[in-house]
Chain A
Amino acid sequence: MRTFRRLAVVLIMALVAAACGGGDDDNDSAGQTDTSQPAVNTNAELKVGFVDDQYVLEGVDASLGAYPLNTNVLETLTYLNDKYEVVPRLAERWEFRAPNTWRFFLRKGVKFHDGQDWNAQNAKAAIFDRVAAKRGGGTIKAGPNSVAIVDEFTLDFTPTVGNVRVPEQIVHPNNAAVAPGTDPGKKPVGTGPFKFVEYQAKERIVVERNDAYWGEKAQVARISFRFYPDSNARLLALQAGDIDLAYQIPRDDVKGLKDKGFTVANSTVGAYRAVYLNQFGEAPFDILKDVNVRKAIATGIDRKALVDGVLVGLATPDQTFVPPGVLGRSASEVKGFQFDLNKAKAMLDTAGWRAGSDGIREKAGRKLKLVLVSGFPSAEALRPTPVFLQSEMKKLGIDLEIQERPDSASFQALMAEKKGDLFIEEGNQNDANVGFLPVLLLYTGAASSGSGVYQGISAPGPTFNSLIEPSITEPDLAKTQLSVGKALNEAITEQATVLPLAGIFRIYAMKSTVRGFVPHPSFLNVSWLGVSVAGR
C-alpha cells in the first residue's frame, strides 16, 4: 500500500510539473517574436481553422469549397473586395443596357482546372444556367433564356425580372463559375488560384496551388482548412500550433492572444448588431407604438460604452445597419441619435411615463416594462449585449426583461407572432447590394418581396418606401447609395423603428509567420491569393 501511495504521489507531481513547465512553450510553436524575418516559403502548407462545416453537397445548391467557406477554388465574375467595392474578376468590365440587360466582357486567357476554356459559352453553362436552376433563379434572377452570347468573350444577361443590382449580387460565391459537366458537390472544378484536393465532411477540406492560374500565383503550396465548431477548441488549436490562422475569434480572447505573440487582425465593419422595435404589437407589447418612447430609448443608449466595454473596442458605434462601406459617402445621411441620458428621461416624461416609487416609470397605473428577445443568430452569440441594454434601460426607468431563444428559428417565430417589444440580432452583409437588406426587411411598397416578418413589427411606412424605391430601379451605384442612405435615416432617426447598436468587425488571429492576410469584412469573400507562410 505504501508503495502504491508513493507511486501515486510521484505521478501527480510529474503531471503538475509537466503542466507548469509547459507554460513557456506556448510561443515556441506559434507566437514567437519575429526578429529574424524568415523568408517566405512557397512550398509551405497553410492550416486554417474555420467554424462549422455547412457545405451543401447535393443538388442545385451544392457549394463545396465555395460557400460558406470560400477556398478560392471557384471564382465569380465580379469580386467584393475588403472595402465592399465591386472589382473585376472573371469579367474585365460590365455595363448596363436598358431596360434590363447586363453586358459582361469576359477575361481572356483563363482556363478551368480541367483544361476547359473560359469563354462566353462556358460562362453561360458555368454560372447562369446553373444559377437559373436554383429556386427563383437565385438572387440574380437568372432564367433558362437569360443569356445571349454576343461573341466569344462577351455575353448579355437579362434577368427574369427587373434587376439593376446584378454586378453587386453576383459576387456571392453561390454564383461562382463551375466547370461545365462537373459536380460541384463532389469535386469542385473552377478557375481559381487553388485546386481542390480532398474533402472529409465535418473535418477538413484541402486545396493546392493552381500553377496555371491566369493571375498572380498563390504564395503557399497547399491550404488545409479544418472545421472547429467550438470557438474554444479553435483557439486552443491555434495555440497548440495545429493551425496557423483562425476565423471568428471571440472578442474576450483577443488580448490574451496578442500577449502570447499572435497577430490579431480585424476587418472593417461587416456585420451589425441592431434592435428592431415592435411598433405594431398588441398588449402587452404595444408600448412602442409611441414614437417618442422609441426615440427616448434610442437616445438613452450609450453606444460608445457598449463598444468600449462589452465589445472590447472591436466594433464601431454605427447608427446604420448597413455597413458604412456599402453605403459609401451616403453613410453620413443617417443621422441617428446622440447619447443623452437626461434628454431621454425628459422625452419619456413628455410621453407621460413618470418615475414610480421603485424607479420604474408608470403611466395610468401601467409599468414601463418591455421584453427584449435575443436569438439571432443565437442568444449565446449576442451575450452580454442584452444585459448591457437592460442596465441602460434601468437608468431610464424602464424594466427590460430578456428572453433568450436558442436559435434563429425560434427567434423569428416570436417576431412573426409579434410577441416581444424589442428584437436584437446580429446580421451580415455579404454582397455589395446596398439596398438589399433595407428593402427586404422594411419596405412595404408595391415591389415588396420580403417575408413580412420584420415589416410586421418595424416597417417605417410610406415615406421610407418612397425614399428607397429609386434604389430598386436605379442602376447607378452612387444614386442608389443616396436613396438608401436617406431611407435609412427615415427608418432609424425619424421613425426609430430600427435601432442600430454597433458595426461589428470580423476578427481573425494567426501566427506571426503568416503574412499578407487581408481581413475581409465578409467571411464569404476572403482571398487566399496573397497569403504566405514564412520559414517552414
Chain B
Amino acid sequence: MPYVLRRCLLVIPTLLGISFLAFALANLAPGNPAEQLLRRLSDTPPTAQEVIDTREEMGLNRPLVTQYVSWAGRAVQGDLGTSYTTRRSVSSELRHRIPYTLQLTVLAAMLALAIAVPAGIVCALHRNRLFDQLARLMSLAGASMPSFWLALSLIVLFAVRLSMVPVAGRGGLDSYVLPVVTLAVTPAAVLARFTRSTMLEVLDDDYMRTARAKGLTEWRTVLGHGMRNALVPLLTAFSISLGHLLAGAVIVETIFVWPGVGKLALDAISNRDYPMIQGFVLYAGAAFAGINLLVDLAYGAIDPRISAAGSSASGLRR
C-alpha cells in the first residue's frame, strides 16, 4: 500500500481514539450540561423538572457508551451533532470559525519564520558576538513571556497610546497586526534558538568545508548546504508550533475578540457543551495529523536520502 495512503488511513483510528478519550474526559468533568444550558438560556436557576426534561431531550440519560457510539456513527457521516449552547450544528460552527483561526495561524507562522530563520542563521554565523547575545536574550524573553501580558502591553503601547491600530476586533488590515505579532512571538523565539543550534551543528561539517574550498561564497555555502541540512529538525520544530497555532490560541482570541476555534473550545468546555468539545478535539486532532503527514512528505523533498529509505522504513523518519 502506498505510504501516503497508509498514513491517511492511520489517521482514522487515531482520531477515533482521541475523540473517545475526549468524550470520556468531558463526561468525567463535574457539572450537569442540562443545568448549564438552562442557566445560560435565562440567567436563572432551572427547576428540577426542567433539568430532568432537558437531560432527556439532550440524550444524556443514555449510557455513556451508547452516547459515544451514536455520536461516532453520525460523525463518520459528517454529522458532528448540535451544539448545546448555540443550537447550531457543530460542523457549521467549526466551518465558520476555522477560517478565522487559519488567518491568524498562517500570518503568525510566516512572521515567525521570517524573523526566526534569518535571526538564527546570523546568530550562528556570529556566535557569541553582540547580535547573538542580544538575539538570544530576546528569544529567551519571547519564549517565556505570557501571551496575555504581551497582548495587553502591545495594546497599551500601539492602540491606546500611539493610536496606530485598533484595540481588538476584526476589521481592516491594521486589526491583524497585534494578534499576529502576539501569536508569532513565542514560535519565533523558539524557532530562532532552534535554527541557531542546528546551524551551529552543521557549520563545521566536512561538506561545508568542502563547499568553501570549492570557492563558494560564505552565504551560498550557508544557505545552499548548511541550511538545507538544518532544515529537517527545523521543520519538525515548526510543525509542532504550527499545530498549536491551528488548534487555536484561546488567550489571543479572547483578548483580541477574534472569533476563532480557540475561544470556541474554551466556551464549550465551560458550558459542558459535549458535542462542541468532541467536534473541536476531532478538528485539532485532524490538524495535527495533517501537519505531521505534510511534514513527513516534506522531509523527502528536503533530503532525498530520507525519501530513498522512507518507503520501507517510514517509521524512522521523525
Q: Which A residues are in CB contact (< 8 Å) with B259?
A: 200-203
Q: What does the 1/0 interface line of B213-247 toward A look like (CB < 8 Å)?
A: 00000000000000000000000000000000000
Bound Cα distance from A202 to B97, whole angstroms? 10
CB under 8 Å from chain A, chain B span 130-188: 130-131, 152, 155-157, 159-163, 166-170
Residues B39 and A408 in contact, CB atoms below 8 Å apart: yes
Residues B46 and A409 in contact, CB atoms below 8 Å apart: no
| B312 CB–A CB distance under 8 Å | no
Bound Cα distance from A203 to B31, whole angstroms? 29
| B53 CB–A CB distance under 8 Å | yes
Name the segment of B9-17, B82-90, B103-111 touching the other chain: B82-90
CB under 8 Å from chain A, chain B span 243-269: 254-257, 259, 263, 267
Residues A409 and B272 in contact, CB atoms below 8 Å apart: yes
Whole-angstrom distance between the Cβ of B84 and the nearest chain A Cβ: 10
Residues B159 and A203 in contact, CB atoms below 8 Å apart: no
Residues A56 and B254 in contact, CB atoms below 8 Å apart: no
Bound Cα distance from A497 to B53, whole angstroms? 30
Q: Which B residues are in CB contact (< 8 Å) with A15?
A: 157
Residues A23 and B161 in contact, CB atoms below 8 Å apart: yes
Cβ 8 A contact of A135, one of B50, B85, B167, B257? B50
Bound Cα distance from A73 to B187, whole angstroms? 45
Whole-angstrom distance between the Cβ of A10 and the nearest chain B Cβ: 15
| A61 CB–B CB distance under 8 Å | yes
Cβ 8 A contact of B167, one of A61, A242, A407? A242
Interface residues on B, range: 35 or more
User: Taking CB as reference atom, which chain A residue is nearest B272?
Assistant: A409
Bound Cα distance from A412 to B169, whole angstroms? 34
Q: What does the 1/0 interface line of B42-83 toward A look like (CB < 8 Å)?
A: 111111111101100100000000000000000000000000
| B8 CB–A CB distance under 8 Å | no
Residues A410 and B29 in contact, CB atoms below 8 Å apart: yes
| A197 CB–B CB distance under 8 Å | no
Q: Which B residues are in CB contact (< 8 Å) with A29?
A: 163
Bound Cα distance from A437 to B87, whole angstroms? 27
Q: Which B residues are in CB contact (< 8 Å) with A37?
A: none
Bound Cα distance from A239 to B256, whole angstroms? 15
Q: Which B residues are in CB contact (< 8 Å) with A1?
A: 129-131
| A99 CB–B CB distance under 8 Å | no
Q: Which A residues are in CB contact (< 8 Å) with B53?
A: 135-136
On whether A413 and B167 interact (CB within 8 A), knowing A174-B41, A451-B46, the answer reads no
Q: List 15 A-B contacts (CB under 8 A).
A: A1-B131, A4-B131, A19-B162, A29-B163, A56-B87, A61-B87, A63-B41, A135-B57, A226-B169, A226-B257, A233-B255, A236-B160, A237-B168, A240-B160, A437-B45
Residues of B at the A interface (CB closer than 8 Å) are 29-33, 35-36, 39-51, 53-54, 57, 85-88, 96, 129-131, 152, 155-157, 159-163, 166-170, 254-257, 259, 263, 267, 270-272
